[in-house]
Amino acid sequence: MSEEQTGKGGWLSRLKAGLRKTSSRIGDGLAGIFTKRKLDAETLEELEELLIQADLGPVTAAKVTAAMGKGRYGQDLGLDEIKGLLADEITKILEPVAVPLAFSRAESGPRVVVMVGVNGTGKTTTLGKMAAAAVADRRRVLLAAGDTFRAAAVEQLEIWGQRAGVPVFKRETGADAAGLAYDAVERARREGADIVFIDTAGRLHNKAGLMAELQKIIRVIGKVDASAPHDIVLALDATTGQNAINQVETFKSMVPLSGLVLTKLDGTAKGGVLVALADRFGLPVHAVGVGEGIDDLKPFEARAFARALVGLEGPER
């Protein structure tokens, strides 16, 4: 890893700091379980319980624990060795889903990315950061303020647009969100944009009317470009823990989700839920957020995340 990634204030440093609440819970728990004790049925049962408490969920916790015990019964293992084994098993689950969001133009025109999620997950901020990353990748970007119900959301997106140097397509408060999305994609096509990011209103996953409106937005975008939207990304707040599973279940049943972004990892001891999500759904995890800054949303790296999650110091040699 580069010095920019590992140095003070680098991405790995911020990731470790952001996951400190979770890694402290796991690290302290491992120290309590494995101090001067062999790897046996009792310690593995305690490990499984610890992983459930860290929000890996019972199914994933059982899978990881079983894999760690295979061929190692009765062995004396040091704490760092246990952490290394745990990080390895978690990495195996995470690596298949560590897929950065593509900023490349679609064959049929601009890539259309729709951000969805419940209220308060950080959708608008995440979209703004993604737009900044696309600009840094030398893409022509259009932001669309599809949360037409909240003037504050439009203003927030405009601030991000100014920071990233990209235009923001908007309408008056209360305008039809599906119509706005249609017009935004048409404008992006006319102006030769590479990618259009469409924000949407936060909607509780148990509100049928709001979910039907989201389905309408997706349908209408398809009238401009039959292959669009190319990405429907669900923003999840890590502090909700296992409730994130329910949110994925519901949104996935309503629209063809293509990937996930996990936000607010720095505010929770439930960061292990990302492992449960990867294991259960296999959806790409495009990025994780560990802070408020523009650089605190980065493409998801499986091994770096796994090592930070269990509290291993420094990058792997």
Residue list for the binding site: 117-124, 199-203, 263-266
Q: Please report, in range form, the residues annotated as the binding site for GTP.
A: 117-124, 199-203, 263-266
Q: Give the strand order in the sheet containing 285-289.
A: 168-169, 141-144, 195-198, 111-116, 231-237, 259-263, 285-289, 297-299
